[in-house]
Amino acid sequence: MGRVTRRAFTAAALSTLAVARGAQAAPQPPGASAGARGARTVTEMRGMWLASVDNRDWPSRAGLSTARQRGELTALLDAAVRRRLNTVMFQARPAADALWPSPYEPWSRFLTGTQGKDPGWDPLGTAVEEAHARGLRLHAWFNPYRVALHDDPSALVASHPARKHPDWVVRHGGKLYYDPGLPEVRAFVRQAMLDAVRRYPVDGVHFDDYFYPYPVAGQTFDDDASYDRYGGGFTSRADWRRDNIDRLVRETAAGIARVRPGTPFGISPFGVWRNAATDARGSDTKAGAQTYDDLYADTRKWVREGWIDYVVPQLYWNIGFAAADYAALLPWWAEVARGSRTRLYVGEGLYRAGSGAPGSAWRDPGELSRHLALAKKYPEVRGHVFFAAKEVAADPSGALARVVADHYREPASPPR
C-alpha cells in the first residue's frame, strides 16, 4: 500500500450544501443545558482541526486584508458551533513560524505572503478570544520540526533561526526540517512554542503526526553528524531517534505544566503504530507507514506511560479498508488507552467524505456516521475530531450533517 497520511488526502472537491435545518440549532456554548426535556448533559470531545499550513483551511489565501482574514476565521468558528462541535485545534505554528507576535520566530508567510511581515493583527490571540466568545475551547496546534515546504534556506527571511543556525537544518524530500537529534533544537522549539502557551489562555496544546519526516523513496534523513555526536549510548540509530522524540514529548509536557498548569497536551499521530506482522502488539493492518519505524514516534508508549493527556489517532480510513480497517484500528486503540490516564479521541477523515469511485465506501454519506456508531461500543473513546475546518463549513457530501443528525442532537461539553 502507498503511504496513507493526512497529506495524501487533502484534495477533496468542495461545493456548497446547506446543513439540514434540524441539524442547525441556534449556537449554544458547549455544555449548555440539554433543554426542557431534562436530558443529561453530554460530555465528549467534538473537535475540528483548523489548518493554516499552505492556506489549507485558513486564511483562504495569503495577502488578504485583516478584515477578510478575521471574517474567514470567525466564519469557521461559527460553523463549528452550528455543527455542535466544542473544540478547535488551531494551527498556530505551521512551519517554524508564528501566527502571533513571537520574539523567537518570524510571522508566517501564510498570512501575508511574505515571511516575517507583520499582518497588523494577532491571529492566535483573536482566535482564542473569538472561540471563547462562542463557547468553544481552543487548543494551540504546533508542528515542532518542519521549517519550510521548500528546501532553500536562502528563501527564508534573513532573521530566521534556521539561517542563523544552518547546522540545525536538514534537507529532505524537497523540504527543510530541524534536526530532532540536537538538544539545542529541542530546547529552542520548546521555547518558541511555550511562548504562545504563556501569552494566551489556550485550552490545550496539540501536536500532529510529523516528528521525523515521512520516508521518501531513495532518500535518507541526513543526521549523521548529530548521531555521531549523541547516539553512542544506543544500539541503533532508530532507537536513538525514538529517544529524541520521547524527550521532546516529555519535555514539552513538563514545560506546559510549568507555564500553564492544568492545560492538556495531546498528539494526533498517524493511525498505525505498527502492523501485527512487524510486532505482535501491533494492529491487524498492512499499512505502508508505521509511526514507530518510520517517524520514530512510539505513540503506544506515550499513551501507556501517560506522558500525554489525550491522543487522537488519525483513523482516516473506511470500515472494511483492507490495508487499515477503521473497524480493526478502533478496538486496537481502545485497548491501548484502557487503564491509562490518556484520553482517547478519534481523528476522522471528513475531507474524504464524497470522494472515490461511485459505489465506494466514502461516496456513501453515512460512512462517517457509522464510525461514530461503532465507537460508541468502546467506552475508552471519549469523542472525535474532524479533519478539517473547510469541510466542516462546506460539508459538500452532507456527511457531517448526517453525523449531527444521528449523534449530535444535543450540545456537549468536552472532557476535562
What would the pLDDT profile of 265-312 be if each residue is shown by its tens digit?
A: 999 999 999 999 999 999 999 999 999 999 999 999 999 999 999 999
369 contacts 398 by C-beta, under 8 angstroms = no
Residues 20, 290: Cα–Cα separation, whole Å: 39
Predicted pLDDT at 6:
42
pLDDT of 315-372, one tens digit each?
A: 999 999 999 999 999 999 999 999 999 999 999 999 999 999 999 999 999 999 999 9
Predicted pLDDT at 262:
97
- How far the first Cα of the chain sits from its last, in Å, is 38
pLDDT above 50 for 142: yes
pLDDT above 90 for 33: no
Which H helix or E strand runs over 333?
Answer: helix 326-337
245 contacts 292 by C-beta, under 8 angstroms = no
Closest CA to 231 of 241, 221, 216: 241
Q: Global pTM?
A: 0.91
Q: How confident is the model at residue 28 (pLDDT cuts 50, 70, 90)?
A: very low
Cα three-residue angle 119-144-331, rounded to 5 degrees: 120
| CB neighbour burial string for 146-156, b if at least 16 within 10 angstroms, e if fewer | bbbeebeeeeb
Predicted pLDDT at 3:
40
**pLDDT > 90 fraction of the chain, expressed in percent and rounded:** 89
Q: What are phi and psi of 146, to 5 degrees?
A: -70, 130
Burial of 189 (0-12, 13-18, 19+ CB in 10 A): buried
Strand-pairing partners, residue 45, are: 383
Residues 55, 335: Cα–Cα separation, whole Å: 36
Asked which of 40-44, 90-94, 410-414 is least confident by mean pLDDT, the reply is 40-44
